[in-house]
Amino acid sequence: MKLPHIPPYKTKVVEPVYFKTKEERAAKIKEVNYNLFNLHSDWVVVDLMTDSGTGAMSEQQWAEIMLGDESYAGSESYFKLIRSVRDIMGFEFVAPTHQGRAAENILFSAVVKEGDVVPGNAHFDTTKGHIEFRKAKAVDCTIDEAFDTSIDHPFKGNIDLEKLEAVIKEYGKERIPFINITVTCNTVGGQPVSLANIREVSELANREGIPVYMDIARYAENAYFIKTREVGYSDKSIREIVTEMFQDVQVVWMSAKKDGLVNIGGFIALHDAALYEKLGQFTIIYEGFITYGGMSGRAMGALAEGLQEGVEFDYLNDRVQQVAYLGEKLKSYGIPIQDPVGGHALYIDAKRMLPNVPQSQFPAQLLGIEAYIEGGVRGVEIGTLLADKDPVTGEERFPEMELLRLAIPRRVYSLPHMDYVAATMANIKEKSANLTTGLKIIKQADILRHFTVQLEKI
């Protein structure tokens, strides 16, 4: 008999899960204005709100916590982090930050100005937020296939070269500080970008003299998909693929809370000494001295180790298989998801799952509310709420996709948890025809409104 796949780790410490009744959850979610961010975590049974900072660290990482050097300047933990980044990614300079959006703040303070345009594959919301905050514009050049959840395409995170060329032509390269490639592309479903596409984008960028930057929160998962889906890479190691991914990239920034396998942290890594020096000015103003940038020594040590574990094939294989397992289960119950399944999350297509709820009534948010009441499963809306109003016109922006994301924390849940989540969604599917009205906004912020929005049922 072929032995079944098992995770390449076992449990040393456990956390309790608390159970409430459906009635208690229905009352609670109303009390917190139908905003899933307002729930205390002990009111959640399976928390799939994000895979960001929610993973379990290894015993080696916990050992690094004890070894943390908390010196204000020049801590050994900082040098461990630099050595680890250089070893895996090949960049000379590393500027630590407390998380990904802090890296965006520092990097964009140095390179983005009013009137600029940043083309790329569907920018993450904080990336877009930091671009728009500087009165610049993020233009989405993702391939069309990404926006139809029923189309099978191995690299739905790819950039459409024609769209990219059109943007360069329309705005002129002087207004484009960099082209942004996000790996994997969170916003369209944790979908990978192929090496062929990275190469084509880099060639075009080189011809135009525009630098290529990468948002590498989930770069190791992207490398896993290149190894398992792209022709010619099955025999290459994850590390070799990572080297090739970054070959023609000038700057990367990372929310290390994802593939860095830590609960907090981030960094910018680059080759250019002059730009690194410029970043240092902003790091000191916004984050702290340049050798810690908002991270504690122990957090940098844990990250140095987490980066190494994050590119191990066995770890990645287990991780992506678990996400795929939930995907298969959901599909077997007829739940419409972004297909093929991406790296870190399942994206349920709320337009297809709740066809009777108009997009103006936030169907993906409604689906999230239903999942919470039904099983205490907490996901996050990636739809009209997240899209924010247009900062210039103030009009609602309706994205092509209305998704509920169920993101899987790393090394935290087991397969029975996945079965539980799938059953929760199947129960909602059964009554989906009766769900005809959604939600309306009673209070919202101007930017990144989904975190604090207050809603009521229509």
In whole angstroms, the minimum distance from the beta carbon of 171 to ligand F0G comes to 23
Residue type, 313: F
Q: Catalytic site residue 333? A: no
Please report the DSSP string for 426-444 in residue order. Answer: HHHHHTGGG----EEEEE-
In whole angstroms, the minimum distance from the beta carbon of 182 to ligand F0G comes to 5
In whole angstroms, the minimum distance from the beta carbon of 350 to ligand F0G comes to 17
Beta carbons within 10 angstroms of residue 51's beta carbon: 27
| Angstrom distances, CA of residue 11 to CA of 45, 305, 321 | 19, 19, 19
Q: Catalytic site residue 79? A: no
Catalytic residue among 258, 329, 344, 417: 258
Catalytic residue among 47, 116, 140, 215: 215
Burial of 232 (0-12, 13-18, 19+ CB in 10 A): exposed
Query: What residues contact 175, with CB distance under 8 A and at least 6 apart?
Result: 115, 116, 117
Q: What are phi and psi of 138, to 5 degrees?
A: -100, 125
In whole angstroms, the minimum distance from the beta carbon of 142 to ligand F0G comes to 13
Tell me whether residue 361 or residue 379 sits nearer to ligand F0G (CB atom): 379
Residue type, 299: A
Residues that bind ligand F0G (CB under 6 A): 50, 52, 99-101, 124, 126-127, 182, 186, 215, 217, 255, 257, 266
Tell me whether residue 185 or residue 357 sits nearer to ligand F0G (CB atom): 185
Is-contact 455 33, C-beta < 8 A?
yes
Tell me whether residue 126 or residue 291 sits nearer to ligand F0G (CB atom): 126
CB nearest ligand F0G: which residue?
Answer: 100
Nearest to 107 by CA among 126, 120, 84, 88: 126
Q: Catalytic site residue 258? A: yes
Q: Catalytic site residue 153? A: no
Q: Catalytic site residue 72? A: yes
Q: Which value, in Å, is the radius of gyration of the alpha carbons in the chain?
A: 21
Burial of 191 (0-12, 13-18, 19+ CB in 10 A): buried
Q: Catalytic site residue 344? A: no
Catalytic residue among 78, 93, 108, 124: 124
Token pair belonging to 324 = 């795929």
Tell me whether residue 406 or residue 455 sits nearer to ligand F0G (CB atom): 406
Token pair belonging to 21 = 């009744």
Tell me whether residue 266 or residue 301 sits nearer to ligand F0G (CB atom): 266
Q: Catalytic site residue 125? A: yes
Active site residues: 72, 124-125, 215, 217, 258, 450
